[in-house]
Amino acid sequence: MAMSGSSVVIHGKNGAGKTNILEAISLLAPGRGIRNAKSNDISRIPESLGWKVKATLEHRNQTHEIETYVDNKSLRIVKIDEKIQSQISLSKIYRMLWLSPSMDRLWIEGADGRRKFLDRMTLNFIPEHGSLSINFQKLLKQRNRLLKDKVYDKNWYEALEVKMAIDGANLNKNRIFTIEKIGKSLTNLNPSFPKAKLSLTNSQDLDNSINSNDLAKALRDNRQRDMMAGRTLIGPHRIDMSAFYLNKNIEVSECSTGEQKAILISIILANAWSLTEYVGDPPILLLDEVAAHLDDDRRQELYNEIVNLKAQVFMTGTDQNLFGSLNGLADEFEVVEENGLSKIINKE
């Protein structure tokens, strides 16, 4: 699938395989991709043949060969210019953002999805955030095991809690930094898109502090309660991200479905603009079925933002006419299904 480097439109019937293309591209970023699927779940069913994604990236007058696949031990491997690298290394070369229909319920479902959404945005600003999160989760798992097994030796807890507090405070620091960056871009975003104020929230009394001493003390003071619950009840793994719709002065969770979608698009666009300013390059954007939910005016404004960003954007939709106002500013492909396989047709 060769492209000019401009935006890309992919259209076709439902089930033809449009989202599969975006998922393959998303696997060139750290994490589980646009569907949040485990490596083994991505393999073709029922053959379970495994999978591999390869791409050539031209960036800052350099060309990189990117490859990722699952090995015979079901471990995901990443290669950059034929050398095995960590997944986080991908974020040090380029950034990638995406929006899919599965994210439409972000504001009305559990905090876990919003936390993952925030951490993915943070990872693009601070690639080390991924390793920090993994380290914190390992420590959290060890502490939860002690709690579940009713271990009372405080020395075991203190050794873990000091490390957890340092990593946890840095996680919150990174998240606050990201929210501030995106918040600034939201303020300056095209007036056609709704404005929202993002913030970190926590159901516990513990403040979302970036002070490791405060977090260590809170973990220590909460041990008895945690032991009764069998898990750690406070900390950066329990924070939530809230959004306040400034145009109507209400929480986004109280908005209509259409307003929630529009605000989500606003955040993605603001994230893209803030990343462009911060790292000097626009991110790659994956927008799955995004145009169908917008009226004509807002759809045109979205395309204008995309053109102004000068980012490579991949957009999918069932209706080719939804992209007509791009006026030839995007490469166009059609996906059709033939004998159970997806076929890509260049519409030039």
Helix (H, G, I), strand (E, B) or coil at 117: helix
Which neighbouring-strand residues pair with 8?
314, 331
The encoded tokens of residue 55 equal 């791409």
Name the strands in the sheet holding 62-70, side by side, starting at the edge strand that comes first in the sequence: 52-59, 62-70, 76-80, 83-85
CB 253 within 8 A of CB 240: no
Half-sphere CA count of 248, side-chain side, radius 13 A: 13
| 105-280: CATH class | mainly alpha
Alpha carbon separation from 135 to 41, 124, 138, 313 (Å, rounded): 25, 18, 5, 33
Q: How far apart are CA 84 and CA 5, in angstroms?
A: 26
Residue 3: what pLDDT?
47
Cβ neighbours of 142 (radius 10 Å): 16
Q: What residues form DSSP beta bridges with 99?
A: 287
Print pLDDT tens along the chain (348 aa).
Answer: 444 457 899 998 988 889 999 999 999 999 889 988 887 777 766 566 778 999 999 877 889 999 999 887 778 899 999 999 999 899 889 999 999 998 989 999 889 999 999 999 999 999 999 999 999 999 999 999 999 999 999 999 999 999 999 999 999 999 999 999 999 999 988 888 888 999 988 745 455 566 899 899 999 999 999 999 999 999 999 999 999 999 899 999 999 988 898 899 999 999 999 999 999 999 999 999 988 778 888 888 899 898 889 889 999 999 888 888 887 788 889 898 887 788 888 766
User: Domain ranges in the chain?
Assistant: 105-280
pTM over 0.85: yes
The terminus-to-terminus CA distance of the chain in angstroms comes to: 13
